[in-house]
Structure formats: structure tokens, C-alpha cells
Chain A
Amino acid sequence: ELKVEQNPLFLSMQEGKNYTIYCNYSTTSDRLYWYRQDPGKSLESLFVLLSNGAVKQEGRLMASLDTKARLSTLHITAAVHDLSATYFCAVGYGRNTPLVFGKGTRLSVIA
């Protein structure tokens, strides 16, 4: 069974601090996605990681992929309130097939 597990599911962090969200998946894949969702809104694509060792950065967010460990991380640097949202990872298997989503990590950045 294909499983994608994120942890933590809830994260409250102070502004200016660093933290990492983890995404483990059960079956080998070479594509991993990170999405952001604001309350009441749709999903916004953040990163698509396509190969082992891939690293992508956008502002205070950096995502990496280790296909051998079946692990992706989303690292938050010097958090700001605007990063408060729910973050989903998802794994792709095969072309033009549905993604398998984790349950999401609800991030709250507090002053």
C-alpha cells in the first residue's frame, strides 16, 4: 500500500526560529511535491523534486529529496507570520497518475 507520512502534523513555532517538516513515503518514487494551502483556499505548488539529492529553495523555504531513504524535508528558516499555512507533501508514481498525499502539517508562526 502506498503511504505518505508527514510529521509533525501540527507545528507552532516562534518568529525567527528554524524548523523542519519531514515527509516519508513507503514505495520508491522519483517525484516528490510540496504544496501550501491557506485556510479556505486551494493548493499552491511550492516545489517539485525530481531526483535523488535534489534541493530547491524559495525565500525562507528549502526542500530536499533523498530517494534512497524515501524522505523529503521542508526546512523553514527564520520563520515569519506569513508562512502560517498547511503544508502537504505528495508523491508521484507513474505518468499522469494521481498523487498520493500526506495528511498535511499545519504550521502556525507566532510572535
Chain B
Amino acid sequence: DGGITQSPKYLFRKEGQNVTLSCEQNLNHDAMYWYRQDPGQGLRLIYYSQIVNDFQKGDIAEGYSVSREKKESFPLTVTSAQKNPTAFYLCASNQDRDNAYEQYFGPGTRLTVT
């Protein structure tokens, strides 16, 4: 089955620790994205990558880092510099073609930092 996987589903960390969220896709998509969602809120873009070994900051990149060493993988590291990291993190991917524009989302990782 083709799709996007995120792991873990739930993650608990102590304040001051870095944590890495996994995102893998087997859809052969070039573009991948990380969004953050706070309770009752919309989605905010953290980082995105349009091609391997390249990525761009989104609206709220401070305190986060990413890498794109392989087409299938786009891990997100939440660093200790992120002031309020508790949130729901969503990964997405797409490959726009003529008459085919579909952005797919993974199941999400809920991060709780205490």
C-alpha cells in the first residue's frame, strides 16, 4: 500500500531534550512538508522540501530542524530551543502533475513535552 507513515503516534519528552519525528513516504513524491497544529487551530507550516538535499523554512521554523537525505524520508527534529513544542505534528507529501494535484497527509505524531 502506498502512503505516508509517521512514527511514533504519541511521544512524551522532558523539557530540554531534543526529539526527532519520523516521516516516510513510498509514493515517489518529490515534495514533503511538516505542519504543526495546536488544539482548535489550523495548520502552520514548519519546513518543506521540494527535492532531495534541499529544504525551505516555513512560517514557524524557529526551534526546529529537518534533513532530506533520501526522497522517501523527511525527519523533523524539535530542539530544546522550541519554546512551546507540545502540539500535533503532521507530515504531508505531493507530486503535482497536469490535472493531478493531491497533497496527502500522514497520520500525525502527538508530542507532549513536560
- Interface size counted on chain A using CB atoms at 8 A: 24
A40–B101 alpha-carbon span in the complex (Å): 26
Per-position binary interface string of chain A over residues 33-74, scored 1 when its CB falls under 8 Å from any chain B CB and 0 otherwise = 101000011111100101000000000000000000000000
Q: Which of B14-22, B41-49, B77-85 touches A?
A: B41-49
Residues on A with beta carbons closer than 8 Å to the beta carbon of B95: 96
A103 and B104 contact, Cβ closer than 8 Å, known pairs A42-B90, A96-B31: no
A90–B101 alpha-carbon span in the complex (Å): 12
**Are B30 and A104 within 8 A (Cβ)?**
no
Q: For the complex, is B105 an interface residue (Cβ under 8 Å from A)?
A: yes
Per-position binary interface string of chain B over residues 83-103, scored 1 when its CB falls under 8 Å from any chain A CB and 0 otherwise = 000000010001110010111
**Are B43 and A88 within 8 A (Cβ)?**
yes
A-B contact count (CB 8 A): 52
Residues on A with beta carbons closer than 8 Å to the beta carbon of B50: 96-97
A42–B108 alpha-carbon span in the complex (Å): 6
Within the complex, the shortest CB–CB distance from B1 to chain A, in Å, comes to: 16
Interface centre among A31, A40, A43, A106 (most CB of B within 10 A): A43
**Are B42 and A88 within 8 A (Cβ)?**
yes
A48–B103 alpha-carbon span in the complex (Å): 9
Residues on B with beta carbons closer than 8 Å to the beta carbon of A96: 30-31, 50, 94-96
Q: For the complex, is B58 an interface residue (Cβ under 8 Å from A)?
A: yes
**Are A33 and B42 within 8 A (Cβ)?**
no
Residues on B with beta carbons closer than 8 Å to the beta carbon of A101: 42-43
**Are B58 and A50 within 8 A (Cβ)?**
no
A44–B90 alpha-carbon span in the complex (Å): 12
**Are A45 and B103 within 8 A (Cβ)?**
yes
Residues on B with beta carbons closer than 8 Å to the beta carbon of A45: 102-105
Instruction: Determine the residue in chain A with the shortest Cβ distance to B59.
Output: A98
Interface centre among A33, A42, A106 (most CB of B within 10 A): A42
* Known interface pairs A97-B48, A101-B43; 20 further A-B residue pairs with C-beta atoms within 8 A, sorted by A's residue number: A40-B110, A41-B108, A42-B90, A42-B105, A42-B106, A43-B43, A44-B105, A45-B102, A90-B103, A96-B31, A96-B95, A96-B96, A97-B31, A97-B50, A98-B58, A99-B103, A102-B42, A103-B41, A103-B42, A104-B41
